[in-house]
Amino acid sequence: MDMDKTTRLLYLQAMGVETWKLKPQLATKNVVEKNLLTDDKPSKILTIEENWKELAQDIRVCQKCELYKTRKKTVFGSGNFNADWLFIGEASGENEDLQGLPFVGNAGLLLTEMMRALGLKRENVFITNLLKCRPPDNQDPKVNEITACYDYLKRQQALINPKIIIAVGKVAAQKLLKSTAPIKELRGVVHKIDNIPLVVIYHPAYLLRFLGKKRIAWQDLQLALKTYQLLQEE
C-alpha cells in the first residue's frame, strides 16, 4: 500500500516512533527539512544556520515546563557546531544558570580536564545538557522536564551530526539509552543511538565526591578515545 509522507509520519507517530529526527544526509547537504508533521503548508526548507538560529530562539523563550519561572538564563550549549564529539550532561547548576553556559562550575573544570586527557579542547567539541534550564536547588530533573526538553537536544544532535556521543552521568545515560539500569552497568560498553556510538562516563560532580572512581573514569575515557580512533580508521 502506498502512503503519502504525511500519512506515514502520522502512523509512525501514533506507534510512538519519534519522527522529529532530521536526516543526517540532508544536514550534510546544508539543508534540513523541518516540521514535516506540523506544517500545513509544504515543508519549509531551512539552512543549517537558520535551523540553529531558530533552535536557539526556541530555547531562549521556552516555557514548556515550570523551570522557566525560576531560571536566570537558559543554557543552550557551547562549542563547535560541526563537532565530532557531543558531550551531554544533566542540567545546569548555579554557575551555569548565571552565565548561560554549560559546565562552568567545579564539575565543569574537571570535565575540561577530562577532555584534555582525550586531547580535546572545549571549543572543538559541543557540550550541552538534557535540560536547558536549572532545576531549583539542584534537584534531580523531573521526568516531565526531561520530556519537555528532549526535542531540543535531539535537534542539536541532528544538526551537529556528531561521530561520537558522550553521556555524562547517570541521568543523561539513562535517558539517552532509554534504560533504568545503574550507571555501573551502562558504562564500559559502546552503545549506539541513531547509529552513533555512545559512551557513558561518570559525571564529574560525582567524581569530585568519590575520588576512588578515578581509575574507572580513566578507563571510560580510554574507551571513548579508542572508539573514536577506530571510527577514524574506517
Positions in the binding site for ligand URA (CB under 6 A): 89-93, 96, 102-103, 107-108, 129, 205
The residue at minimum Cβ distance from ligand URA is 89
Ramachandran class of 222: left when φ > 0, alpha when ψ lies in -120 to 50, beta otherwise: alpha
Smallest separation (angstroms) from ligand URA to the CB of 150 = 15
Q: Which is nearer to ligand URA, 22 or 168 (CB)?
A: 168
Q: Which is nearer to ligand URA, 90 or 220 (CB)?
A: 90
Q: Which is nearer to ligand URA, 129 or 157 (CB)?
A: 129
DSSP E strands in 68-111: the ranges are 78-79, 85-89
Q: Cell triple for residue 170?
A: 547517570
Report whether 199 contacts 224 (CB < 8 A).
yes
Report whether 175 contacts 143 (CB < 8 A).
no
Smallest separation (angstroms) from ligand URA to the CB of 86 = 14
Q: Which residues pair with 79 in a beta bridge?
A: 126
Smallest separation (angstroms) from ligand URA to the CB of 46 = 27
Q: Which is nearer to ligand URA, 48 or 148 (CB)?
A: 148
Smallest separation (angstroms) from ligand URA to the CB of 98 = 12
At 182 the three-state DSSP class reads coil
Distances (CA, A) of 187 to 70, 172, 191: 33, 12, 9
Q: Which is nearer to ligand URA, 22 or 91 (CB)?
A: 91
Q: Which is nearer to ligand URA, 96 or 220 (CB)?
A: 96
**Nearest CA to 157 among 103, 232, 82?**
82
Contacts of 29 (CB under 8 A, 6+ apart): none
| CB-side neighbour CA atoms (13 Å) of 203 | 20
Smallest separation (angstroms) from ligand URA to the CB of 21 = 24
Smallest separation (angstroms) from ligand URA to the CB of 6 = 37
